[in-house]
């Protein structure tokens, strides 16, 4: 299965961002991809207004997703991204959405909010309360995660034990001392923890690192972007997952029951 990862700098204009997402969807489908992963919080972003993502929140039947649904209806591509959905006045839920055939086929409300490194996502965002789902695309089972979820290995392990052989991660990874190192290390660690592919999309604005990655089940980076807008492609191989799990059977060798996340 061919996967595409699109990274770009989100602007303050949701209409421009929707057009950009639709363009990336069209390009990915044209290149033969079965899956496109886009970054986190794509509605709107402004360096001078850190609250704009929440202020711009739209419902799942809002105009932003209508643009993407129209593009989705034109092909068989599965597209995954996140946006903020209103929950109560002045608050929202950071919601991952999977689109296929012009419809929403799955959603996931981000469990782990980024209350770290002097940022407090929970100030305006409500956490989810359900474990993320596993969905099937092109014969692969995809476990869904969002950004800060990457730092919680029990979540990736829960998805792998639920059948996932690919972990999907839209992100807006904030720049800072050692943060690029954390990103690369954690992506590789989650691949090795679970013997899953990891497909991660990063927003590449002034405050976020970009650096989208596709990493294989032995922790090898098979496709990568730098800090600029890009569309990268990689082929996922089911035989690679099977071979690695025969060689490195960590899922079978583990001695502990999976922890309860909630």
pLDDT of 261 > 60? The answer is no
Catalytic residue among 21, 69, 121, 147: 147
Q: What is the pLDDT of residue 259?
A: 59
Tell me the per-residue pLDDT of 179-236, one tens digit each, with 9 for 90 and over. 999 999 999 999 999 999 999 999 999 999 999 999 999 999 999 999 999 999 999 9
What is the three-class DSSP state of 133? coil
Q: What angle do CA 29, 33, 38 make, to 5 degrees?
A: 80
* The CATH classification of domain 2-253, taken from the options 1.20.1050.10, 1.20.140.10, 3.60.110.10, 3.10.20.30: 3.60.110.10
What is the three-class DSSP state of 259? coil
Closest residue by Cα to residue 34 from 166, 229, 191: 166
216-241: b (≥16 Cβ within 10 Å) or e:
bbebeebbbbebeebbbbbebeeebb
Catalytic residue among 21, 40, 121, 203: 40
Q: What is the pLDDT of residue 256?
A: 80
H or E element in which residue 84 lies:
strand 78-88
Q: Where are the domains of the chain?
A: 2-253
Number of H helices, E strands in the chain: 7, 15
* Strand arrangement, sheet containing 213-215: 134-137, 140-144, 166-171, 197-202, 213-215, 221-224
Catalytic residue among 21, 69, 71, 110: 110
Q: What is the pLDDT of residue 255?
A: 87
Tell me the per-residue pLDDT of 136-173, one tens digit each, with 9 for 90 and over. 999 999 999 999 999 999 999 999 999 999 999 999 99
Q: pTM of this prediction?
A: 0.96
Whether residue 188 contacts residue 214, with contact meaning beta carbons closer than 8 Å, is answered with: no
C-alpha–C-alpha distance, residues 94 and 20, integer Å = 20
pLDDT of 258 > 70? The answer is no
Q: What is the pLDDT of residue 223?
A: 98
Whether residue 225 contacts residue 6, with contact meaning beta carbons closer than 8 Å, is answered with: no
Tell me the per-residue pLDDT of 79-124, one tens digit each, with 9 for 90 and over. 999 999 999 999 999 999 999 999 999 999 999 999 999 999 999 9
pLDDT of 262 > 70? The answer is no
110 is catalytic: yes
Which 8-state DSSP code applies to residue 162?
T
40 is catalytic: yes
C-alpha–C-alpha distance, residues 202 and 242, integer Å = 28
For 176: left if phi > 0, alpha if psi spans -120 to 50, otherwise beta; the answer is: left
239 is catalytic: no
């Amino acid at each position: 299965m061919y996967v595409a990862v699109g990274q770009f700098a989100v602007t303050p204009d949701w209409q421009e961002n929707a057009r950009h997402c639709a363009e990336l969807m069209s390009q990915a489908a044209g290149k033969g991809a079965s899956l496109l992963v886009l970054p986190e919080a794509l509605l709107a972003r402004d360096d001078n207004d850190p609250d704009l993502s929440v202020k711009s929140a739209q419902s799942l039947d809002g105009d932003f997703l209508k643009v993407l649904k129209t593009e989705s209806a034109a092909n068989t591509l599965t597209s995954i991204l996140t946006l903020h959905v209103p929950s109560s006045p002045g608050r929202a839920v950071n919601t991952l959405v999977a689109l296929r055939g012009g419809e929403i086929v799955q959603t996931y409300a981000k469990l782990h909010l980024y209350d770290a490194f002097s940022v407090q996502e929970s100030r305006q965002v409500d956490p989810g309360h359900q474990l993320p789902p596993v969905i099937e695309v092109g014969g692969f089972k995809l476990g869904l995660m969002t950004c800060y979820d990457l730092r919680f290995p029990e979540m990736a392990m829960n998805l792998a034990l639920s059948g996932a052989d690919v972990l999907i991660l839209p992100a807006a990874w904030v720049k800072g001392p050692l943060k690029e190192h954390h990103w690369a290390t954690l992506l590789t660690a989650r691949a090795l923890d679970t013997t899953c592919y990891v497909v991660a999309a990063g927003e590449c604005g002034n405050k976020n690192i970009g650096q989208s990655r596709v990493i294989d089940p032995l922790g090898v980076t098979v496709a990568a972007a730098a800090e600029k807008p890009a569309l990268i492609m990689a082929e996922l191989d089911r035989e690679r997952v099977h071979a690695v799990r025969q060689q490195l059977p960590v899922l079978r060798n583990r001695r502990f029951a999976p922890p309860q996340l909630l």
